[in-house]
Structure 1
Amino acid sequence: MKTLLASTALAAGLYAMAGNAQAAGCGDVSIAEMNWASAGVAAQVDKIILEKGYGCTVTLVTGDTMPTFTSMNEKGQPDVAPELWVNAVRTPLDAAVSEGRLIIAAEILADGAVEGWWIPKFLADAHPDIKTVQDALKHPELFPAPEDASRGAVSNCPSGWNCQVSTANLYRALGAKDKGFDLVDTGSAAGLDGSIAGAFAKKTGWLGYYWAPTAILGKYEMAKLSFGVPHDKADWDACTAVPDCPNPKVNSYPTSQAYTVITKQFSEKAGVALDYVKTRKWGNAMVNSILAWQDANQGTNEDAAKYFLKNNPDVWTTWVSPEAATKVKAAL
């Protein structure tokens, strides 16, 4: 009986300590609110959950891939980068992790960030023979160019984007010009989005580069085409992603990985909140739908985060403790 009472008392004490630790929060936390939509919404979700669920005091700071990584690596600030696309910083990130400065907490995009060439789903349904980019290039008449409807169009990224280089190289590798296609400069992100919106409004074909997670792919159903070959990283790095590569080959886009990266200092002070950061992840379909809502309602990142939390408790409550879930729900 004495042993049972002692065990019960110990368990109660540990439970109380855990409750007090959660109530005490994890102190001051800085989170990078990156300047693209999916990462910005993720930062706002983290802010709400860490503040309301775990008692942390959160400050959001403006972020971008290289500046945020460099600051975390060299200065230990910010504490958290919710969505860091690691392909751009893979080598220095690996060094920072091995040397104990930074920690990869979780892969926030469960199915990775997806890039490729797409066509509208309604066109793919009407032409089930089009499965690959090569199949699409057999039909310039289905993808009329804006300046010359007798030619097909491959819509490219805006100037200065990395995807403009890869799309131009793949256009040449595929011999698309000789197959009746022009490479169309969409001018800007708005121009690229507008070209897709226009194709859906007119129910005409569209072929070109896009990526997920994005609001456009949440709003418009698109089908990603295969390039018919596996991703060749060596050739991608040496040629596909290099401006004006003299002899580009057909290649497939890599699946980009986006991780939540935290500093060692945060891991040491986060307490039970660290479990949330290590667990939280979502898929492209979910993020696409949130971003589509945000775009349609002209919402801020905070608006979109609250929309997600209010409408998808079955998703986010699996990331947190029951106590934290109750507190977050009460705060919404």
Structure 2
Amino acid sequence: MKGLRALVVGTLFTFGSTLGLPATAAQAPIHFADLNWESGSLITEILRTLVETGYGLPTDTLPGTTITLETALANNDIQVIGEEWAGRSPVWVKAEAEGKVLALGDTVKGATEGWWVPEYVIKGDPARGIKPLAPDLRSVSDLPRYKDVFKDPESPDKGRFLNSPIGWTSEVVNQQKLKAYGLADSYVNFRSGSGAALDAEISSSIRRGKPVLFYYWSPTPLIGRFKLVQLEEPAFDAEAWRTLTDADNPHPEPTRSLASKLSIGVSAPFKQQYPQIAETFSKVTLPIEPLNKALAEMSEKHGDPRQAAQAFLKQHPDLWRAWLPKDIADKVAAAL
């Protein structure tokens, strides 16, 4: 990595001239959001690799919660969010309306999110000696009568719902959903400290054959690894959705989440300064199956996201060559 950075810095003037940039602008690293979930980190490293090897520009990452990173993007303190669930948070909606941020492309087809339980909770698993614990569980409206199945060890009179970590946009939405679905008094809103901790809690429960109710999303390795059932929610309603994304709304209304659309979030100054790269980002498409496979391999091997990204690019040149001009694609291929 250090060698790559040195090579990049040593050739910045050449590439800066090629892109029509002043040398000082070319030397400044492009700041990517350091996303702390698996698909976000993998996609981020795929994009960084393309920018560094194809366009010869340095990059780095800056950590933060979803909301703080979207605020930073609006202020151009960072320039790229590799996996942006656009239109979900008030911060993003406001910044987009003001022309400060843009969502480029439709990067992952088939992405989804919702509330899930292991299949054996409903159907049982005779091979593991597990009997059905909630045979009629289909919808979030069924959850009040099954609170004892998902008993919270610290508040045994309530069930436990595993929410996103604090700071994720989905954490606010799920907290509001608990109120909107009439579950706030019967379920504990349990927040893990990180995406990895949420993953570990779910995986541990499933391996032990224990009932668990949780929020999750795809693309992820976990969705493909276990047999899960997504609970039904009320039909989408745009007005109700606004009440779920507002943490301060005292009367949230029930609705399923906004249909998932994953994009690459960029700041307006970034698009203006690097139109070629923005054009590339607008063409990025990652089919769900190979992406989930790459995520599963990265998870199982506890792999470094940068190495996993390079392996993905080596395995799927047909994908990224379609996003890039030929001369840029040839540089990426040579570097890989």
For the criterion TM > 0.5, the same-fold answer is yes
1:137-286 aligned within 5 A: 143-145=149-151, 147=153, 153-157=159-163, 160-161=166-167, 163-164=170-171, 166-176=173-183, 182-183=187-188, 185=190, 187-189=192-194, 191-227=197-233, 229-238=234-243, 241-242=246-247, 245=250, 249-263=253-267, 266-267=270-271, 270=274, 272-286=276-290
Residues 157 and 185 of structure 1 are in contact (CA less than 8 Å); yes or no, is this contact kept in structure 2?
A: yes
Residues 165 and 242 of structure 1 are in contact (CA less than 8 Å); yes or no, is this contact kept in structure 2?
A: yes
1:72-111 aligned within 5 A: 72-74=73-75, 76=76, 78-86=78-86, 87-88=88-89, 89-96=92-99, 102-111=101-110
What's the offset of the Cα at 1:280? 0.6
Residues 230 and 251 of structure 1 are in contact (CA less than 8 Å); yes or no, is this contact kept in structure 2?
A: yes
Question: Partners in 2 of 1:259 and 1:107 — Cα distance?
Answer: 5
Count of matched residue pairs: 301
Query: Which residue pairs with 2:305 in the alignment?
Result: 301
Question: Partners in 1 of 2:232 and 2:248 — Cα distance?
Answer: 23
Tell which structure's C-alpha radius of gyration is larger.
1
1:25-62 residue CA offsets vs partner (Å, 9 max, x unmatched): 5763614133323333223212222332x332122231
Residues 26 and 56 of structure 1 are in contact (CA less than 8 Å); yes or no, is this contact kept in structure 2?
A: no
Question: Partners in 1 of 2:218 and 2:151 — Cα distance?
Answer: 24
- Pick the aligned partner of 1:118 from 116, 123, 131: 116
> Could you state the TM-score of these two structures normalised by the residue count of structure 2?
0.69
Residues 33 and 39 of structure 1 are in contact (CA less than 8 Å); yes or no, is this contact kept in structure 2?
A: no
CA, structure 1 residues 322+117, in 2 after alignment: closer, same or farther (shift >3 Å)?
A: same
CA, structure 1 residues 267+169, in 2 after alignment: closer, same or farther (shift >3 Å)?
A: closer
> Could you state the TM-score of these two structures normalised by the residue count of structure 1?
0.70
Query: Which residue pairs with 1:315 in the alignment?
Result: 319
What's the offset of the Cα at 1:119? 1.4
Aligned residues: CA RMSD: 4.1
Residues 82 and 108 of structure 1 are in contact (CA less than 8 Å); yes or no, is this contact kept in structure 2?
A: no
What's the offset of the Cα at 1:83? 2.9
CA, structure 1 residues 57+120, in 2 after alignment: closer, same or farther (shift >3 Å)?
A: same
Letter of the 1:45 counterpart: I
Moved more, 150-159 or 76-85: 150-159
Query: Which residue pairs with 2:3 in the alignment?
Result: none
Show structure 2 runs of 5+ residues with no match: 1-13, 125-131
Query: Which residue pairs with 1:50 in the alignment?
Result: 51
- Pick the aligned partner of 2:140 from 115, 133, 158: 133
Question: Partners in 2 of 1:184 and 1:140 — Cα distance?
Answer: 13
Residues 157 and 188 of structure 1 are in contact (CA less than 8 Å); yes or no, is this contact kept in structure 2?
A: no
Show structure 1 runs of 5+ residues with no match: 1-19
Residues 176 and 252 of structure 2 are in contact (CA less than 8 Å); yes or no, is this contact kept in structure 1?
A: yes
